[in-house]
Amino acid sequence: MFLRRKQHEQIILDITAIDKRVIARKKQMLDSVFVQQLVQMRSSTRDKTQPILSLELFKHLQFVLDDPKYSTIWGDDTTKKHILEDASTITLPAVLVDELNWMLHFDYLYYHSLTVALLVAALSLQIFPDQGQRQRAIFSALTHDVGITRIPKSILNKPGTLNPQEFQLIRQHPTYSYLLLAYYFQDVDNVFARTAHVHHENALGTGYPRGIEQTDTIAQMIQICDIYDALRSARPFRPAMSNEEALQVLQGDVGKGKLNSEIYTLLLALVQAETPDMHVSS
């Protein structure tokens, strides 16, 4: 996969794993030699895994399903039941449980990731007949943004416009997710790491961090659900958008060919029952 890379990435920040070990240094080039060294840095002892049902995280997923923000999406009890059934079968390595818990320090990120995972779970019910694929999609959605917590909060929560350096840093967060997941799974080609790396790329090759053409269905599902929930949420730099406003933005990106139109159509069907003036400020 690295030979097909359009541009070589240079890591902007020192990146530290959850155990405080520095796994990538500032100015390191993300080449195949480096990533091989990265995955060998970790001890070969297998991580303990935890069933999601035993975690607070599962209660939080149920909490999000009961949140009035998207009550009309989850209003259908059968959909809710199937989403929870799929989510309940997931097991997470302990280190990723720690990473997700770390997201709680960043107000918006934790519940945003859970919401994206639930939206992806709802779309997966329509896209993937196989439960294994649906589990993979939910797991990917839960973990795709773990790297963003390595960016300073002052930048993530900046109310004004980002300067070019800050903007560049934000655009490298998929790479930080890739580094962390590849390191934890000790696999340069780990499926969750690869999906996280491309979740902001697009079919036109105009996304980031690498500007490569992206055709990974799960990454495309995450991308659309991510943008939708981000737009519907209040951020330090803008208020929450209404359902209609958010869909207009998505529709614009679908029109330009940046987002997958079939996945967008499925999301549209899911959210169209929302009342037009529903506007959430949290």
Q: Are 122 and 84 in contact (CB under 8 A)?
A: no
- Which of 219, 199, 216 is CA-nearest to residue 208? 199
Q: Which is nearer to Fe ion, 86 or 145 (CB)?
A: 145
Part of the chain binding Fe ion (CB under 5 A), chosen from 107-115, 131-139, 143-151, 248-256? 143-151
Stretch that binds Fe ion, among 48-56, 131-139, 144-152, 162-170 (CB under 5 A): 144-152
Of the candidate spans 116-124, 142-150, 159-167, 266-274, the one that interacts with Fe ion by CB under 5 A turns out to be: 142-150
Q: Closest distance between Fe ion and the C-beta of residue 207, in Å?
A: 11
Nearer to Fe ion, 145 or 201 (CB): 145
* Least distance between Fe ion and beta carbon 267 (Å): 17
Query: Closest separation between CB of residue 172 and Fe ion, Å?
Result: 11
Dihedral pair phi/psi, residue 238, rounded to 5°: -170, 155
Least separation, in Å, of the C-beta of 148 and Fe ion? 6
Angstrom CA distances, 140 to 92, 220, 260, stand at 11, 11, 18
Name which position in 24, 28, 122, 145 contacts Fe ion (CB under 5 A): 145
Report the residue number whose CB is nearest to Fe ion. Answer: 145
Strand partners, 16: 22
Nearer to Fe ion, 69 or 197 (CB): 197
Give me the 219-258 binding string for Fe ion, x by CB under 5 A, dash otherwise.
----------------------------------------
Query: Judged by CB under 5 A, which stretch of 86-94, 139-147, 233-241, 268-276 contacts Fe ion?
Result: 139-147
Question: What are the distances in angstroms from CA 42 to CA 51, 53, 250?
Answer: 23, 27, 40
**Residue (of 136, 116, 119) closest to 267 by Cα position:** 119
Alpha-carbon distance of 95 to 115, in angstroms, equals 21
Q: Determine the Cα–Cα distance for residues 3 and 191; give it in Å rounded to an integer.
A: 18
Give the 3-state secondary structure of residue 7. coil
Contacting positions for Fe ion (CB under 5 A): 145
